[in-house]
Each structure stands twice: as structure tokens, then as C-alpha cells.
């Protein structure tokens, strides 16, 4: 065979050999379009497929018993299931709580966080019922107060000492907690606010005396520790 023709034959054979090796190694064939490489870090960031959040169920939310809420002034009652199965607050349940809490002052929407803390507190004490003493109040001054903004609730838990109830509420961040100590009252005030404040009120029913502020050396640190998850009824649950 002529030397030139032999050289061309050997060159073609070498190219075919390289292509075969590339195919066996999983690489692209000669002339095939090149796909950009995906970095390992990108694959890890993507992770496994995520389920539709609307299909998720959270154990504590599904297992949480309804809270029986009653208004002391009207006798209105309702069983409130505050959380949906995915752990989100049910707006309809907040509305039902607000309607039960209404009295001669009229109905007014209560803040979600206020109702959450009421449910959390009842769960903490293992109480299946809550008695509302006062919820919304018509504003007495131009600026109003926490009651007139749907941010406050006076209540008691049947079978739970009002002092223990108040002590637990004072452990929560960003709340106002007042303790009504007259033997004819013995209920607790709870409101939601940015800076905690605690007090005692010995006023008899229908009388307003000056409140006595309670010292609170841990207020700043406790309020700074606030997280939305802390408002959930997760005491003793995983």
C-alpha cells in the first residue's frame, strides 16, 4: 500500500478509537452539542423534590383539642379550633373567638397573636375551657387603649389559680400582664405589645384604682428573644 494512503488509514482508525473511548466513558460523541456542566453544589442546593405545602399536616396542629370559650357577661359559647392541619391560624376561628368575647361593648376583631397566646396558655395548663371577662371595650380617650384596639383580653381558666396563670403569662415576651387581686375578681389581663409591662390591680369591681407596676429586670432580654414560633401551643410537644 502506498505510504500516503497508509497514513490516512491509520489516522482514521485513531479517530474512531478516540470516539469509542468517549462513548464508553459516558462522554459526548464528537460533534454533539455540549451541555453546561452542573456543579455538585448546585445539585445539593436544589435537593429532593419538595411536597406541596398545602398537603402537609403537622402533628401538633392535627392533635390539638378545641378550646371551649365562654363569655362571662353574655353566656355565649363556642368550641374554637384555632389552627388548620398545616399549623396556620384559621381566620374563621379568630372571628368566632372574637364573637364569643363580644358583650355590650360590641363585637370587634381580636388580634391573631392575642388569641394564639390565649390558646397556648390554656394548652400549657391542660385546660379545655377559657372564660372571657372582658375583650373589646369602646375607647374612653382619643388614643384608646389595648382593649379598644382588640389587643387585650381579661380572662380566667377554670380550676387554675389566677396567680399561677399570671406567673406563666409574665414569662412570655412582648406582653402586658395585669393581675386583679380583689376576691371578687381574681382574673388576669393579657395584651400584646412591643415592650412588656406587668402590674397588680386591687380595684374592686366597678372601681378604678391606680395600678402598681411590678419590677421586671429580665424584660429587655425576654422581649429580644421573641419568635413567632414561641406563640404556638408547643409546650411538651415535638
User: Nearest-CA neighbor of 137 among 180, 117, 108, 100?
Assistant: 108
What does the pLDDT read at residue 185? 93
Q: Look at 133 and 37; give whichever has higher pLDDT.
A: 133
CB atoms within 10 A of CB 113: 16
Q: In this predicted structure, which of 66-75, 78-87, 139-148, 170-179 has the lowest mean pLDDT?
A: 139-148
- 87: region left, alpha or beta (phi > 0 left; psi from -120 to 50 alpha): left
Rounded to 5 degrees, what are φ and ψ at 123?
A: -65, -40
Domain count, the chain: 1
For the stretch 223-237, pLDDT in tens is 999 999 999 999 865
In a domain, 31, yes or no: no
Q: CA–CA separation, 91 vs 97, rounded Å?
A: 10
Q: In this predicted structure, which of 55-64, 73-82, 110-119 has the lowest mean pLDDT?
A: 55-64
Indicate the pLDDT class of residue 48, thresholds 50, 70 and 90.
low
In a domain, 116, yes or no: yes
pLDDT value at 63 more than 70? yes
Q: CA–CA separation, 209 vs 203, rounded Å?
A: 5
Q: CA–CA separation, 124 vs 172, rounded Å?
A: 12
In a domain, 143, yes or no: yes
* Cell numbers given for 116: 394564639
User: Nearest-CA neighbor of 116 among 156, 89, 98?
Assistant: 89
**Distance between terminal CA atoms of the chain?**
83
Q: CA–CA separation, 91 vs 21, rounded Å?
A: 64
For the stretch 67-82, pLDDT in tens is 999 999 999 999 999 9
Mean pLDDT computed over 39-50: 54
Helix orientation angle between 91-101 and 112-124, rounded to the nearest 10 degrees: 80
Are 70 and 130 in contact, with CB atoms under 8 Å apart?
A: yes
In a domain, 216, yes or no: yes
* Cell numbers given for 197: 409591662
In a domain, 8, yes or no: no
Q: In this predicted structure, which of 75-79, 169-173, 203-207 has the lowest mean pLDDT?
A: 203-207
Mean pLDDT of the chain: 84
* Global pTM value: 0.76
What does the pLDDT read at residue 143? 67
Instruction: Determine which helix (DSSP H) or strand (DSSP E) holds 153, and give its type and residue range.
Output: strand 152-156
In a domain, 96, yes or no: yes
What does the pLDDT read at residue 140? 79
Instruction: Determine which helix (DSSP H) or strand (DSSP E) holds 179, and give its type and residue range.
Output: strand 175-180
Range(s) of the domain holding residue 110: 59-231
What does the pLDDT read at residue 19? 46
In a domain, 209, yes or no: yes
Mean pLDDT computed over 164-189: 97
In a domain, 125, yes or no: yes
pLDDT value at 189 more than 70? yes
User: Nearest-CA neighbor of 114 among 62, 189, 178, 216?
Assistant: 189
Are 165 and 200 in contact, with CB atoms under 8 Å apart?
A: no
Amino acid at each position: 500500500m502506498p505510504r500516503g494512503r497508509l497514513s490516512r488509514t491509520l489516522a482514521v482508525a485513531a479517530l474512531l478509537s478516540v470516539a469509542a473511548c468517549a462513548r464508553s466513558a459516558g462522554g459526548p460523541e464528537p460533534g454533539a452539542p455540549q451541555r453546561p456542566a452542573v456543579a455538585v453544589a448546585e445539585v445539593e442546593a436544589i435537593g429532593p423534590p419538595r411536597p406541596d405545602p398545602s398537603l402537609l399536616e403537622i402533628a401538633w396542629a392535627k392533635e390539638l383539642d378545641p378550646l371551649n370559650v365562654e363569655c362571662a357577661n353574655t353566656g355565649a359559647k363556642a368550641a374554637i379550633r384555632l389552627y388548620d392541619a398545616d399549623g396556620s391560624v384559621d381566620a374563621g376561628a379568630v372571628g368566632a373567638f372574637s364573637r364569643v368575647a363580644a358583650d355590650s361593648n360590641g363585637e370587634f376583631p381580636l388580634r391573631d397573636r392575642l388569641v394564639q397566646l390565649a390558646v397556648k396558655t390554656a394548652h400549657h395548663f391542660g385546660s379545655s375551657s377559657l372564660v372571657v371577662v372582658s375583650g373589646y371595650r369602646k375607647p374612653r380617650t382619643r388614643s384608646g387603649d389595648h382593649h379598644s384596639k382588640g389587643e387585650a383580653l381579661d380572662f380566667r381558666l377554670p380550676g387554675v389559680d389566677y396567680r399561677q396563670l399570671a406567673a406563666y403569662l409574665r414569662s412570655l415576651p412582648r406582653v402586658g400582664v395585669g393581675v386583679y387581686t380583689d376576691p371578687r375578681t381574681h382574673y388576669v389581663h393579657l395584651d400584646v405589645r412591643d415592650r412588656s409591662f406587668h402590674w397588680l390591680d386591687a380595684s374592686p369591681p366597678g372601681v378604678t384604682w391606680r395600678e402598681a407596676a411590678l419590677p421586671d429586670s429580665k424584660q429587655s432580654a425576654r422581649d429580644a428573644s421573641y419568635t413567632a414560633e414561641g406563640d404556638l401551643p408547643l409546650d411538651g410537644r415535638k
